[in-house]
Amino acid sequence: MKIYADNAATTKMSRKAIDAMLPYMDKIYGNPSSLYTIGQEAAEALMQARGTMAKYLNCTPREILFTSGGSEADNQAIISAARLGAKKDKKHIISTAFEHHAVLHTLEKLEKEGYEVTLLDVHENGIVTPEQVRDAIRPDTCLVTIMYANNEIGTIQPIGEIGAVCREAGVLFHTDAVQAAGHLPIDVEKENIDMLSLSAHKFHGPKGTGVLYAKKGILLTNLIEGGAQERGKRGGTENVPAIMGMAAAFEEACQHREEYAKKLTALRDQLIEGLSGIPHSILNGDAKKRLPGNVNFCFEGIEGESLLLLLDEKGISASSGSACTSGSLDPSHVLLAIGRIHDIAHGSLRLSLSEENTEEEVRYMIKSVEEVVSYLRQMSPVWRDLQEGKREYVIQ
């Protein structure tokens, strides 16, 4: 059996998204800035895609900026707010300890430039509260940036309430909604969101394309200088095929959202129940306030990397939740942020489902994880010490 269960890392493109892209590769391939017909046809298509993105976020098309993806959108939102703040001598930014690195590393860069960053602690359930945000806001705060849903443990933040706190305090509010877009209902107006990032490849669209929503009146700082594309805020010929694929995928995801969420929630809960049966295992993040497709567990006495390799041999693509990009052995900053100690954070597993997964696959995953965890534990010196009482269990 071949099972893809790493949809938080990226998704398979939908047929609709692919079909929406094809004509813009070999037929309507004109440059949208050109004045002749196939250029103007491409420009017209972009306008439609902008309208689609705006419709499902509840903003105006002028507030949609196409980017190369979630990372770029996060960078541009944060840098823009920081520059606006500096003009008024406001150089304090509030975020959380479990953001994506596109946010955390941008904040580190700003710290080196003299900005002050407060990273809020995350509760053990993986959720920050509006009260924490309210308490952290100072007269010199220029930005609050908090993710909509976490990419490792899937927990959903009270974004509407946090947005209201920020609006009341007159502080700009950005949310990295890369994991939420297409999977949760988003309304930037109702939720008082000033800036929002999303990425097409997390909802069955193409990789390398995304959106930065920025509320009218917010002056964006360019990360890329060039032509007058994107109202002069992002130079470079627009990736028309990818943008068309993104709009088609977003529309499809939003139109089927409730139906998919219902199906996914059932699969997720079945998977959580099954894996909870493994002794000395613990679910990471709130059991209910989490993305419909996200499951994340720690198993005592084993290494996440070995678990992934053995699951791969059984045909299952999963993740340990810690993107070991640099091959570093550091455990996930997200699991540390919710209070898991190093030893435990190392034994983590993230299974992120899509609506294409089935109940049969869920049963196979439960059985496979049970087998692999028990096999690895047999060889683990830590597990032996635990069994012999030379060491105390952390996960009961």
Ligand X SMILES: *Cc1c(COP(=O)(O)O)cnc(C)c1O
Task: Give the active site residues.
Answer: 324
Q: How far is the CB of 108 from ligand X (least distance, A)?
A: 16
Site for ligand X in 139-158 (CB under 6 A): 147, 151
Burial 188-223 (b: 16+ CB within 10 A, else e): beebbbbbbbbbbbbbbbbbebbbbbbbeebebeeb
- The answer to whether residues 254 and 86 touch, using CB atoms and an 8 Å cutoff, is no
| Other Cβ atoms within 10 Å of 177 Cβ, number | 29
Q: Which of 106, 199, 284, 332 is close enough to bind ligand X by CB under 6 A?
A: 199
In whole angstroms, the minimum distance from the beta carbon of 197 to ligand X comes to: 7
Residue owning tokens 């995928």: 249
Q: Is residue 69 close enough to count as binding ligand X by CB under 6 A? A: yes
Decide if residue 380 touches ligand X (CB under 6 A).
Answer: no
Q: How far is the CB of 304 from ligand X (least distance, A)?
A: 18
Rounded Cα gap, residues 317 and 314, in angstroms: 9
- CB-nearer residue toward ligand X: 70 or 304: 70
Q: Which of 176, 194, 355, 361 binds ligand X (CB under 6 A)?
A: 176
Dihedral pair phi/psi, residue 65, rounded to 5° = -120, 125
Give the span between the Cα atoms of 51 and 59, in whole angstroms: 9
Nearer to ligand X, 69 or 241 (CB): 69
Is residue 205 within the footprint of ligand X (CB under 6 A)? Answer: no
The dihedral formed by the CA atoms of 107, 231, 255 and 16, expressed in degrees to the nearest 10 = -100
The span from the CA of 342 to the CA of 279, in Å, is: 19
- In the shown chain, the binding pattern of residues 90 to 129 toward ligand X, with x for contact by CB under 6 A and - for none, equals ----------x-x---------------------------
Is position 71 an interface residue for ligand X (rule: CB under 6 A)?
yes
Which of 210, 301, 321, 347 is in the footprint of ligand X by CB under 6 A?
Answer: 210
Q: Which residues bind ligand X (CB under 6 A)?
A: 69-71, 74, 100, 102, 147, 151, 176, 178-179, 199, 202, 210
